[in-house]
């Protein structure tokens, strides 16, 4: 029995692609987190076993952390972390 119709209608050339849209949202979220909470990336890289790639990425992450601190992009995170530590009675590591 032959099919007489397509299972899905053809996509308009200018329409959004759901996978591409999802990828853009995910990577933009990662970028936002790396810029606003940069010490998370440097801490994660410091915990990894040393190798040449890790060392290069660590230098890049430290540069991003330094730029984020100089521009004040991490101020909301630092403020909220200080509040959290004060409320819970914990101390900075």
The whole-number pLDDT of residue 86 equals 93
- In angstroms, rounded to a whole number, what is the distance separating the alpha carbons of residues 16 and 31? 22
The whole-number pLDDT of residue 87 equals 94
pLDDT digits (tens, 9 = 90+) for 43-75: 999 999 999 999 999 999 999 999 999 999 989
Query: What are the residue ranges of helices labelled H in the chain?
Result: 18-36, 38-47, 52-71, 75-88
């Amino acid at each position: 029995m032959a099919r007489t119709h397509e299972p899905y209608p053809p996509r308009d050339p200018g329409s959004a692609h759901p996978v591409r849209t999802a990828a853009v949202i995910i990577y933009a979220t990662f970028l936002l987190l790396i810029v606003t909470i940069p010490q998370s990336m440097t801490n994660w890289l410091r915990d990894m076993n040393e190798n040449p790639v890790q060392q290069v990425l660590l230098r890049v992450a430290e540069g991003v952390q330094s730029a984020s601190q100089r521009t004040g992009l991490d101020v909301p995170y630092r403020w909220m972390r200080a509040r959290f530590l004060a409320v819970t009675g914990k101390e900075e590591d």
